[in-house]
Structure 1
Amino acid sequence: MIDRIRDRDAFVRLRRDGVRVRSAPMWCSFVADPTVVPPQVAFAVSRALGNAVTRNRLRRRLRVILSNADVPNGLLLFGGRPPLAELTFAELEIRVAALLAAAQHARAHP
Structure 2
Amino acid sequence: MIERFRGRSAFARLSADGIRADHELLWVRFLPDPSLGAAQVAYALPRQMGTAVMRNKIRRQLRDIVKSLDREATAGLPAGLYLIGTQRDAQAFSHADLRVSLMACLAKLDRTAL
TM-score by length of 1: 0.92
Task: Determine if the alignment matches structure 1 residue 99 to structure 2 residue 101.
Answer: no
Note the C-alpha offset of 1:6.
Answer: 2.0
Residue range with higher mean Cα deviation, 52-61 or 79-88 = 79-88
Tell me which amino acid in the other structure corresponds to 2:109: A
For structure 2, the 5+ residue unaligned runs are 71-76
Structure 2 distance, partners of 1:26, 1:97, is 10
Query: 3-state SS of the aligned residue for 1:35?
Result: helix
* Counterpart position of 1:66: 66
Tell me which amino acid in the other structure corresponds to 1:22: D
Structure 2 distance, partners of 1:81, 1:92, is 11
Query: 3-state SS of the aligned residue for 1:24?
Result: coil
Structure 1 distance, partners of 2:34, 2:3, is 14
Structure 1 distance, partners of 2:92, 2:41, is 22
Determine if contact 2:26/2:84 at 8 Å carries over to the other structure.
Answer: yes
Identical-pair percentage: 39
Note the C-alpha offset of 1:25.
Answer: 2.4
Stretches (4+) displaced over 6 A = none
Note the C-alpha offset of 1:7.
Answer: 1.9
User: What are the equivalent positions in structure 2 for 1:2-81 lying under 5 Å apart?
Assistant: 2-70=2-70, 71-81=77-87
Aligned length: 108
Tell me which amino acid in the other structure corresponds to 1:28: V
Structure 2 distance, partners of 1:37, 1:68, is 18
Query: 3-state SS of the aligned residue for 2:34?
Result: coil
CA RMSD, 1 decimal: 1.1
